[in-house]
Amino acid sequence: MDLQLKKLAHFSGRPGPLLLIIMDGVGLGREDETNAVFMARTPVLDELLRSRFFTRLKAHGTAVGLPTDEDMGNSEVGHNAIGAGRVFAQGAKLVDGSIASGKIFTTGIWQELVGRGKSGKTLHFIGLLSDGNVHSNIRQLFALLENCVEEGVRRVRLHILLDGRDVGARTALTYIQQTEELLTRLNQEQGCDFRIASGGGRMVTTMDRYNADWTVVKRGWDAHVLGRARGFSSAAEAVESMYAEDAEATDQYLPAFVIVDAAGKPVGTIQDGDGVVNFNFRGDRAIEISRAFDERDFNAFNRERSPDVLYAGMMEYDGDLHIPHKYLVSPPEIDRVLSEYLCAAGVTSFALSETQKYGHVTYFWNGNRSGYIDEKLEKFVEIPSDRIQFDKAPKMKAVEIAEQAGALLRSGRFRFGRVNFANGDMVGHTGIMEAAIEAVETVDECVGVLLQLVRELRGIAVVTADHGNADEMFTVKKGVKSVKTAHTLNPVPFVIVDPEYAGEYELAGLANQGLSNIAATLFNLLGYEAPADYDQSLIRIKA
């Protein structure tokens, strides 16, 4: 594999470092009261948006490898696109294609799973129940269930994780109703025994990421495997009861629950010999529960009982660590990422964020691969996130990230650095406008500190975002205000800050520019030509 970079003839970069700043979840939305980015006091961002080197980038839909332009972007596909410099078909699109072609149902692992269901064992499905198309899609689950019937599986149990984050804050009952209607039809027409068995809000049950809080996974294990949580006669009853008990409760934080029969016995615990499918296609929040099922020497929490099951993910969630061991659809093969080229050229770099986005500037940036490409040239720094609802501490770890980035830059060891400020995304997901405003203001202040340091070091900074979120906190339809916790379809800013600019380049003015155009731009700003098959640079070097 040829990873050799050619130097530009007419631009060699600056004496100082190149710093990429990703303001996670800070998009460019309507300039009104729905937009926390607009409502916040952001003198630094305001000045950046007046820069000669400001432009807008697409960060959703087909521009980042998703099926349609109605699909919101997310941090995973966004960092894939930035780090790889090209657009690869992503999780949702890959799974949709595999289902449409029927390929997924011909795989050996699927046949082995349904074989267990046909032999009298139970087939379990665990995943996020919504059509957000970020972690999962309810339509994909329904396709799997329909095939189970065709294959002769008679007993299925669903363990549903409530969204309220990539979709409306209180939409769980809509998805539960759709699911129950399908299950009722299959049971009545085909004589099946398909039921919802357990569930809980995604932020407190099962879907932890980056080892931030294993108690989240334990709650899921207790509910799905052991049948240990608050009992209800149906999932709808569980959600309706929790809504009634807390008028401000949102789906993503609803406690774990189990469905019980008239005698109070759980209807669907996971037992020896059963099959288990995690129908999430996105990796970050599926890795930990997969480890709990796959690892014999697992010790992150006391499982109490570890049933001997056949476990499979919708996809392989970590290609380096091979988590899980078995999966239904192969992930995109992302090769020759920007960092591989930089390491081959001997360019030193660092990646920095707090826990919530640490994997994005490392794992996803490097094409869904864990670990260093060249540990002698790279440094990854994780600042532990607080274990708290992010609206309670909207500053998160932004100040600490800025301080650590400053120390790394001042060390003189690194030619390139990338940092991610998670605030706009993580606080945006809470739907709390006041907290989101404070989050955006904090990031703005921290970006200002870093830009000043880059100036002092005679370097260049690039400021952008991976998708929108805080730029649309609520919608108003027919006079009714609805909190919006999902990502947006808005473009994101892209700005080059080059204090020593002397006319060496100009914006290229591309017709359909998106996140994947950033990598080639970074190569140019470091003084290199981009690889020929990378998406075009956002700048044009002048002769």
- pLDDT averaged over every residue in the chain: 96
Residue 10, in any domain of the structure? no
DSSP 490: -
pLDDT confidence tier of residue 261, bands split at 50, 70 and 90: very high
Terminal-residue alpha carbon distance, the chain: 30
Q: 230 and 128, same structural domain?
A: yes
DSSP-assigned beta bridge partners for residue 21: 419, 463
Q: Per-residue pLDDT for 319 more than 70?
A: no
pLDDT confidence tier of residue 71, bands split at 50, 70 and 90: confident
Average pLDDT over residues 20-26: 98
Q: 467 and 360, same structural domain?
A: yes
- As a whole number of angstroms, the distance between CA 326 and CA 238 comes to 32
Average pLDDT over residues 312-330: 88
**3-state class (DSSP) for residue 501:** coil
> Domain range spanning residue 144?
92-329
pLDDT in tens, 450-478: 999 999 999 999 999 999 999 999 998 88
Q: 99 and 81, same structural domain?
A: no
Among 305, 329, 353, the domain-final residue is: 329
Q: 262 and 201, same structural domain?
A: yes
- For residue 440, what are the contacts with CB-CB under 8 A and spacing of at least 6? 26, 36, 37, 40, 42, 423, 424, 470
Q: 97 and 82, same structural domain?
A: no
- For residue 84, what are the contacts with CB-CB under 8 A and spacing of at least 6? 334, 336, 337, 338, 367, 516, 519
CATH of residue 341: 3.40.720.10
75: annotated active-site residue:
yes
CATH of residue 163: 3.40.1450.10
pLDDT in tens, 427-447: 999 999 999 999 999 999 999
Rg, C-alpha atoms of the chain: 24
Q: What is the 3-state secondary structure (H, E, C) of 454-483?
A: HHHCCCEEEEECCCECCCCCEEEECCEEEE
Among 294, 329, 364, the domain-final residue is: 329
Which string of DSSP letters, residue by residue, matches 251-304?
Answer: GGGPPPEEEB-TTS-BS----TT-EEEE----STTTHHHHHHHH-TT--SS--S
Active-site pick, 12, 75, 136, 370? 75
The candidate with the shortest Cα–Cα distance to 314, out of 358, 359, 282, is 282
Lowest-confidence segment of 43-57, 61-75, 222-236, 333-347 by average pLDDT: 61-75
Among 329, 360, 380, the domain-final residue is: 329
Q: 252 and 401, same structural domain?
A: no
Beta-carbon count within 10 A of 500 CB: 12
Residue 136, in any domain of the structure? yes
The predicted model scores a pTM of: 0.79
- As a whole number of angstroms, the distance between CA 91 and CA 88 comes to 10
